């Protein structure tokens, strides 16, 4: 089974294939034994790695969703608890969508999930999102009412930003990157992971919490929207929220004046610490090269 690729485009996720916009039927009966085995192995590995590392909301949602550990779950099965908890449902897609389609789905409480899964040779790294990243990384937190509202608000904000030009979209993409994809959250037991890009990566799950190389900085919406990021390596800086309420509250205001204010300011580099940062851990920056940020 080969997904239908349309063209490559420079996006907030890098230079990646953009797929057909249409929602497809999850071709569940066409998954091979290898596809199911890849899911099973990745699932088992991350379940171990995330114990004591993922935020409690994610772990509770995983327990509630009861995803099949041995076979790739049917999206329609997961829609039942999702609808009941927060009104979300999953739609199967070929891969990354054009921005307008992606925002439209989120605003309608539909989460696009790539239907195909990586090969056994790609267990540790894949340049674009696949089923494991989308389903294991993103879907559980849609069970959390506050986080689910944040995702919907993000989609609505994205639709609005479409009319405000490329700078607004760039700033909004940074917010998604540093929260939904690579966010950390405080807990009574220490920092925990809620970002999907980390949750679906064994290496970054350990690195984001335990390495002394990256910076960890308290959440600041406007600062994040000014900050470039890395798409080809672990992050140089992570931003830490206190709670999902804090995240949702940050998206409540109209962003139009924020975009305008930030448009005139030079962006911060990915690993920079700037005046005003609430630094939680200052990284050693070891091994960072001069390649450009996204
Ligand atoms: Fe993602």
CATH number at residue 161: 1.10.800.10
- If you search the block for the tokens 């405000």, which residue do you land on? 164
User: Is residue 50 one of the residues assigned to a domain?
Assistant: yes
Does residue 16 carry a pLDDT above 80? no
CA of 133 relative to ligand 1 center, distance in Å: 6
**DSSP label at residue 143:** G
Cα–Cα distance, 84 to 115 (Å, whole number): 23
User: Is residue 146 one of the residues assigned to a domain?
Assistant: yes
Tell me, what's the pLDDT at 8?
58
Structural tokens at position 238? 């992570």
CA of 61 relative to ligand 1 center, distance in Å: 18
Structural tokens at position 204? 């970054």
Does residue 235 carry a pLDDT above 80? yes
CA of 134 relative to ligand 1 center, distance in Å: 6
Tell me, what's the pLDDT at 10?
54
User: Is residue 72 one of the residues assigned to a domain?
Assistant: yes
pTM score: 0.93
CA of 29 relative to ligand 1 center, distance in Å: 25
CA of 233 relative to ligand 1 center, distance in Å: 15
CA of 33 relative to ligand 1 center, distance in Å: 25
pLDDT bin (cut points 50, 70, 90) of residue 157 is very high
pLDDT bin (cut points 50, 70, 90) of residue 291 is confident
CA of 193 relative to ligand 1 center, distance in Å: 14
User: Is residue 286 one of the residues assigned to a domain?
Assistant: no
User: Is residue 53 one of the residues assigned to a domain?
Assistant: yes
Name, in order, each residue with C-beta under 8 angstroms of 150's C-beta and a sequence gap of 6 or more. 179, 244, 247, 248, 251
CA of 129 relative to ligand 1 center, distance in Å: 6
The three-state secondary structure class of 90 is strand
Contact 142, 122 (CB under 8 A): no
- Total domains, the chain: 1
CA of 4 relative to ligand 1 center, distance in Å: 19
The three-state secondary structure class of 197 is helix
The three-state secondary structure class of 217 is strand
User: Is residue 292 one of the residues assigned to a domain?
Assistant: no
**77-87 burial code (b ≥16 CB/10 A, e <16):** ebeebbeebbe
Q: If you compute the radius of gyration of the chain from its CA atoms, what whole number of angstroms results?
A: 18
Tell me, what's the pLDDT at 15?
58
- pLDDT tens column, 119-130: 999 998 888 899
CA–CA distances in Å: residue 52 to residues 39, 143, 189, 190, 194: 22, 20, 9, 10, 12
Cα–Cα distance, 22 to 70 (Å, whole number): 29
User: Is residue 289 one of the residues assigned to a domain?
Assistant: no
pLDDT bin (cut points 50, 70, 90) of residue 182 is very high
Does residue 21 carry a pLDDT above 80? no
Tell me, what's the pLDDT at 144?
98
CA of 80 relative to ligand 1 center, distance in Å: 22
User: Is residue 287 one of the residues assigned to a domain?
Assistant: no
Of 254, 65, 201, which is closest to residue 144 (Cα–Cα)? 65
Range of the domain at 238: 5-281
Does residue 20 carry a pLDDT above 90? no
């Amino acid at each position: 089974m080969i997904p239908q690729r349309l063209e490559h485009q420079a996006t907030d996720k890098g230079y990646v294939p953009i797929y057909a916009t249409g929602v497809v039927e999850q071709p569940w009966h066409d998954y091979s034994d290898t596809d199911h085995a890849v899911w099973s192995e990745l699932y088992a590995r991350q379940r171990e790695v995330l114990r004591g590392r993922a935020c409690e909301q994610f772990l509770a949602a995983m327990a509630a969703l009861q995803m099949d550990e041995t076979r790739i779950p049917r999206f329609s099965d997961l829609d039942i608890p999702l609808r009941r908890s927060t009104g979300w449902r999953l739609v199967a897609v070929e891969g990354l969508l054009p921005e307008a389609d992606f925002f439209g789905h989120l605003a309608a409480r539909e989460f696009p999930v790539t239907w195909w899964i990586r090969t056994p040779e790609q267990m540790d790294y894949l340049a674009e999102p696949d089923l494991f990243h989308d389903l294991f990384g993103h879907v559980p937190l849609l069970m959390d009412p506050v986080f689910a509202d944040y995702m919907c608000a993000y989609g609505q904000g994205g639709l609005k930003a479409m009319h405000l030009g490329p700078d607004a979209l760039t700033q909004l993409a940074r917010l998604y990157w540093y929260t939904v994809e690579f966010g950390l959250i405080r807990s009574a037991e220490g920092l925990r992971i809620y970002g999907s890009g980390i949750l679906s990566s064994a290496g970054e799950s350990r690195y984001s919490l335990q390495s002394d190389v990256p910076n960890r900085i308290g959440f600041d919406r406007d600062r994040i929207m000014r900050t470039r990021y890395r798409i080809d390596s672990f992050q140089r800086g992570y931003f830490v929220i206190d709670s999902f309420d804090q995240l949702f509250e940050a998206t409540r205001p109209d962003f139009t004046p924020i975009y305008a204010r930030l448009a005139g300011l030079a962006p911060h580099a990915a690993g920079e610490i700037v005046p005003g940062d609430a630094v939680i851990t200052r990284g050693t920056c070891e091994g960072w090269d001069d390649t450009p940020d996204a």
